[in-house]
Amino acid sequence: MTILKLVTYPDKRLKTATKSVVEITAEIRTLVSDMIETMYADRGMGLAANQVGEDKRIFVMDESPDGKHPICFINPEIIEQSGEVELEEGCLSFPGVYIKIKRAEYVKIRALDVNGKIFEMDGKGYRARCFLHEIDHLNGITFFDRLSVLKRQMAEKKYQKITRLAM
C-alpha cells in the first residue's frame, strides 16, 4: 500500500465532479487500499478519491473506535435524508480548519463495495456527516461552499493564515 499525496484547497480538482466507476478492476482495488492507508496516515475519518487527485466516484471512511474497520463506497448515492443539525467539521484538504456546518441529521446511502456488491447504509451524527461531506467532495463541493459569504471569507482568511504559518 502507498500513502498518496493529498490535494489541498484551492486545487481545482476539489471543485470538479468525479466520474462514476464503470468496472471494479485490480487498479480500483489498489486505489481503495491506498486511499485507506492515506486516510489513516493523515488521521482522517473519510477520504474521497478527488482528494488524492483521482477522478473517480469513490470514498472511504472509518468511524470505528479502533480505526481498523474501513468501509469503501463506490458510486455512492443519497437515497434518504432528514432532520438538520449543526456540527463541527474538518477536512484533510483544508488542514487545520474546523467549521460548524448544518447538514442532515439522518442519511441513508446506497453504493457498491470493492467486490461490486450493492449495499445500503444509514447513519446519524458524524456517520451521516461523513457520508454527506465525502459525497459533496465527489460532486465537486467543498465544505467552504456550504458557508454564508461572510463565514466563507472568515474561513478563507483563517486557512490562508494556517497555510502561511506551515511554510
Beta bridge partners of 66: none
CA distances from 167 to 77, 97, 152 (A): 38, 16, 23
Q: Put the strands of the sheet holding 106-112 in their side by side order.
A: 46-48, 58-61, 71-82, 106-112, 118-124
Count how many Cα atoms sit within 13 Å of the Cα of residue 97 in the half-sphere of its side chain: 25
Distance, CA of 113 to chain centre = 16
Contacts of 121 (CB under 8 A, 6+ apart): 71, 108, 109, 111, 131
Is 134 assigned a catalytic role? yes
Element (H or E) spanning 78, and its range?
strand 71-82
Q: Provide the 8-state DSSP code for 97.
A: -
Given 54, 88, 120, 134, the catalytic residue: 134
- Catalytic positions are 134
